[in-house]
Chain A
Amino acid sequence: MIWSIYIYVRIFRILFIALALGWPLASARAAHTQAQLVLAVDSARRGETVLAGVHLKMEPGWHTYWKNPGSAGMTTKIEWQLPAGVTAGDIQWPIPEKLPPDEVITYAYENEVVLLVPLKLAADLKPGALDLKAKVSWLECKEQCIPAGGDVEATLNVGSETKPSADAALLKEWQARTPRVDKAFSFRVRWEKKVDNDTRTMIIEGTQTAADKSLAIDKAEFFPDASDEFEIQGATEKLPVSSGFALRKLVKEFSQWPSKISGVIVIQGNGQTNGFELNEPVTGDMAQVSAPVAATPTVAATAAPNQSLIQMLLYAFVGGLILNIMPCVLPVIALKILGFVGEARNDPRRVRNLGMVYTLGVLVSFLVLAGAVIALKAAGHKAGWGLQFGNTHFLVALTILVFLVALNLFGVFEVTLGGRAMGAAGELASKHGVAGAFFNGILATVLATPCTAPFLSIALGFAFAQSAAIILLVFLSVGIGLALPYLVLSFQPAWLKFLPKPGAWMERFKILMGFPMLATGVWLLTLATGVSDKNTMLSFGLFLVVLAMGVWIWGEFVQRGTKRRGLAVAVSIFVLVIGGVLAFPMTRGADQIQWQPWSSAAVAQAQSEGHPVLVDFTADWCLTCQVNKKVAIEVPSVRDKLKQIGAVNLVGDYTHQPDAITDELSRFHRAGVPLVLVFPGKPNAEPVVLPEVLTSGTVLSALDQASK
């Protein structure tokens, strides 16, 4: 505020002086930059190359532009008027500064700059004084922009000796600020992903070559050369890498995507700034590159290029096939297959029909899932495969369901849905109802949701960013993959001939299959309660035990019992109710670090007060986040460091996937948690982005860096 008052006072003063002296306003307004031509030598010999410089001095707050002005502005131009025998080379541009606002980033010089130009003296030049002239034009900007220019000139003596001028040191100093052309780095540039039809992300990686590994890299930037065909935008995100650097830049297309890019890599470290020329082809076939993967960023990174729709559908199909052998689905499928082993011999047509009904059940479930995703997307929500895991109620229900399925497999109780009531445990050869087969299809799909198979996450990640039709296609492909083995076997039961005749082994196999199901249940239990929260997990686990007892009473005395079944119903319900009351309410343990809820305003506030900020985006269902917290954040060394640097600790709870956090994650191009950021305690300073898997060392060094 004080600053802007100062400007107003200044403007008034200039206006006042201008009016008082009767100056034409235009010339007064265009006097914020002064240009001067300087030479490294007073005299030179013919055949030599003389370094010249256009020295621009800007008034405080004013700036002029680099060779690529950025999203706005105009580059400075030098039109030489040179005597015969003197030729000017290209301008050597010192490294500029990247100027805000973030919406319209520009590359410019503040205070002063010397634009260097080599002047080649011909070998046959006549000795004597030479007049070197140039017309310099520029755009100078502060709150407003003014096109301005001026004529500059200098005299050079061509004679028998080379004599440095008083400006030699100045030119040398500015020459040191131009980009280096040595091979201290090897660069690699590749397309990453599509953001929309005319925006993509690009990754620029640099590794230090053996010759110069000593260069400290605190900050890396890329300043691109200008192009009319595309724009490499100003925002830069630094990606965590073990050595060298990796940057992510947004590229917007105007008429053509670049096949190669050029510009300057700017490395800051140890208080020094070094620039390196970059001129590299862009690798990766962007025509094929998919949209960002929603669920599993790590898989996405390795699977980026060359993904067509057909390939994605194939992935979806294969992923669906593999789902059949995942521990959450296998027991159900395996048992159903066994279920018709005997039956098929008597009634093959019926088995075929049941196979088709089961397939229908799977496909309908997947259609419903796809519909839910499309509807959520249409309503402006963010959808992902992990979507359902944002919902604790869903997780609790799924955990209970999986436990019940396991108990059923153990023969604790029977499921009578769709078929006729079964008299004894393990009557697998009993007739399957049509409704039962359909329900099995739904059950297989529901049980499949917590499991993700290889290929599946890639295909689904691809699908979530696509149109409704493609989402449907991908989901149906997964469904077909999931249903196919059962369907094929129902048409070709002969392929199961290698299995023994139905008998007691089937009962044992059924119980065996209960164990992977129980394992799935235990895993879901940790998701539903959050592993960090032991109390909740214990309560919910005990509730499941009581539930097991309740259904056992039900199975033993209601389903199989003959006497006092009414009493048995009452007892089992009573046990369940008591179990429920004891288990809830769940309580939450307290952390030792003083966490406050995250908001972008809280970050800005803390930064403006000079506090470094640790931000942990986490979710109860995110296992990596919990591990990170346990091993790398909630540890004494980090706790002490946080206290010592006066950090503000903010936690962003992504368990229920609020949009504000989804947006913040996408700002750092993450599709999900974990995301841990360390902001320096300076207003608007960019954060250090920590890798997905943390050690306390990584966190400590990031905190050190941010508190410098």
Chain B
Amino acid sequence: MKRLIAFFGLMALVGSAFAAAEVGQPAPDFTGTDINGKTVHLSDYKGKLVILESYNQDCPYCHNHFKTGAMQELQKEMTAKGIIWLMVNSVNPHNSSHRTPEQARAEWAKYKMNATAWIDDGSGDIGRLYGMLTTPHMFVIDKSGVLVYDGAIDDQPDPFHDPHKAHNYVRDAVEKTLAGEKVAPAKTKPYGCAVKY
């Protein structure tokens, strides 16, 4: 069964390799369910900046951004500007890092998260659509729906640093987009743990 799932995963990957998200191109639309049971369409947020964050709290790279509070602060800073922040958890339901909606709501409360929504992507569909490789792997979509940033959250690819002191590529991309400037770098190598598809 597992192997069959893996095989279909590969097929889906191959299929999506040509439809995948690409900087400078319209970000592909998706539909997901958040941990409160609400249906979320990316297209609902047309006209707003959207940030996607691939998430897995059990990953030390991801955890580093939450335990230091840096991720929550960035979420607050961004959502205060009217920006939509969607966390995408693509951990498969057989992995011990998977979260049921109840567990996810508890984790949300524990870490005092400030995102717009946490999308349960246990099937990995959204993750594969965007080619999410690691946790965290960040995406910024501009108001016209075009993907303007794809890559790492900051320039310190380790699970130990203080994110407050690192150069945050996402904040940089958002500020440049809001100022009408070209985002640079628009692509960086994402770092972290493999997404547990």
Interface residues of A (CB under 8 A from B): 1, 4, 7-8, 11, 71-74, 100-104, 106, 139, 141, 143-147, 195-199, 227-228, 231, 250, 253-255, 600-601, 604-605, 608, 663-664, 666-667, 683-684
Q: How far in angstroms is the closest Cβ of chain A from B186?
A: 9
CA distance A683 to B9 in the complex (A): 13
Q: Name 17 extra pairs, CB < 8 A, besides A198-B23, A601-B8.
A: A71-B133, A72-B192, A72-B193, A101-B6, A101-B194, A103-B128, A104-B134, A145-B61, A196-B22, A196-B25, A227-B189, A231-B189, A600-B8, A600-B11, A608-B3, A664-B14, A684-B3
CA distance A683 to B133 in the complex (A): 24
Which residues of the partner chain B approach A7 to less than 8 Å between Cβ atoms?
Answer: 96
Which residues of the partner chain B approach A74 to less than 8 Å between Cβ atoms?
Answer: 157-159, 191
Partner of A604, one of B4, B22, B151, B159: B4
Instruction: Check A254 against B185 for contact (C-beta < 8 Å).
Output: yes
Partner of A141, one of B10, B185, B193: B193
Closest residue of chain B to A608 (Cβ to Cβ) is B3
Q: How far in angstroms is the closest Cβ of chain A from B134?
A: 5
CA distance A228 to B151 in the complex (A): 11
Partner of B22, one of A106, A144, A146, A197: A197
Which residues of the partner chain B approach A146 to less than 8 Å between Cβ atoms?
Answer: 60
CA distance A139 to B62 in the complex (A): 14
CA distance A145 to B58 in the complex (A): 8
- Given A197-B24, A254-B189, check contact A684 B7 (CB 8 Å): yes
CA distance A73 to B192 in the complex (A): 6
Q: How far in angstroms is the closest Cβ of chain A from B159?
A: 5
CA distance A664 to B185 in the complex (A): 34
CA distance A8 to B18 in the complex (A): 37
- Within residues 107 to 147 of chain B, which ones have a CB less than 8 A from any CB in chain A? 124, 127-128, 133-134
Which residues of the partner chain B approach A139 to less than 8 Å between Cβ atoms?
Answer: 60, 159, 193
CA distance A227 to B18 in the complex (A): 23
CA distance A600 to B195 in the complex (A): 24
Instruction: Check A195 against B188 for contact (C-beta < 8 Å).
Output: no
CA distance A684 to B10 in the complex (A): 9
* Count of CB-CB pairs between chains A and B under 8 Å: 120
CA distance A143 to B194 in the complex (A): 10
CA distance A163 to B124 in the complex (A): 56
Q: How far in angstroms is the closest Cβ of chain B from A350?
A: 52
Does B81 have its Cβ within 8 Å of any Cβ on chain A? Answer: no
CA distance A347 to B80 in the complex (A): 80
The 5 closest A-B pairs by CB, nearest first: A72-B194, A104-B194, A683-B3, A604-B7, A145-B193
- Given A1-B2, A684-B6, check contact A145 B13 (CB 8 Å): no
Instruction: Check A198 against B187 for contact (C-beta < 8 Å).
Output: yes
CA distance A144 to B58 in the complex (A): 7
Could you show 7 A-B contacts with beta carbons less than 8 Å apart?
A: A72-B194, A143-B97, A144-B96, A147-B60, A195-B17, A197-B24, A228-B188
CA distance A197 to B20 in the complex (A): 12
Contact with A along B22-48 (1 / 0, CB 8 A): 111100000000000000000000000
Closest residue of chain A to B188 (Cβ to Cβ) is A254
CA distance A1 to B2 in the complex (A): 8
Which residues of the partner chain B approach A102 to less than 8 Å between Cβ atoms?
Answer: 6, 9-10, 13
CA distance A74 to B14 in the complex (A): 26
- Given A195-B18, A198-B187, check contact A143 B6 (CB 8 Å): no
CA distance A144 to B151 in the complex (A): 21
CA distance A141 to B61 in the complex (A): 12
- Given A196-B22, A197-B24, check contact A11 B96 (CB 8 Å): yes
Which residues of the partner chain A approach B14 to less than 8 Å between Cβ atoms?
Answer: 663-664, 666-667
Which residues of the partner chain A approach B160 to less than 8 Å between Cβ atoms?
Answer: 147
- Given A103-B13, A255-B187, A683-B3, check contact A4 B94 (CB 8 Å): yes
Which residues of the partner chain B approach A664 to less than 8 Å between Cβ atoms?
Answer: 14
CA distance A196 to B88 in the complex (A): 25
Does B196 have its Cβ within 8 Å of any Cβ on chain A? Answer: yes
Does B197 have its Cβ within 8 Å of any Cβ on chain A? Answer: yes
Which residues of the partner chain A approach B1 to less than 8 Å between Cβ atoms?
Answer: 1
Which residues of the partner chain B approach A601 to less than 8 Å between Cβ atoms?
Answer: 4, 8
Instruction: Check B197 against A101 for contact (C-beta < 8 Å).
Output: yes
Does B59 have its Cβ within 8 Å of any Cβ on chain A? Answer: yes
Instruction: Check B59 against A144 for contact (C-beta < 8 Å).
Output: yes
Which residues of the partner chain B approach A255 to less than 8 Å between Cβ atoms?
Answer: 185, 187-188
Instruction: Check B60 against A145 for contact (C-beta < 8 Å).
Output: yes
Question: Which of B2, B6, B189, B196 neighbours the largest number of chain A CB atoms within 10 Å of its CB?
Answer: B189
Which residues of the partner chain A approach B94 to less than 8 Å between Cβ atoms?
Answer: 4
CA distance A101 to B9 in the complex (A): 9
Which residues of the partner chain B approach A11 to less than 8 Å between Cβ atoms?
Answer: 96
CA distance A605 to B8 in the complex (A): 11
Closest residue of chain B to A100 (Cβ to Cβ) is B6
Which residues of the partner chain A approach B188 to less than 8 Å between Cβ atoms?
Answer: 228, 254-255
Q: How far in angstroms is the closest Cβ of chain A from B58?
A: 5
Which residues of the partner chain A approach B192 to less than 8 Å between Cβ atoms?
Answer: 72
- Given A104-B197, A143-B95, A604-B4, check contact A253 B187 (CB 8 Å): yes
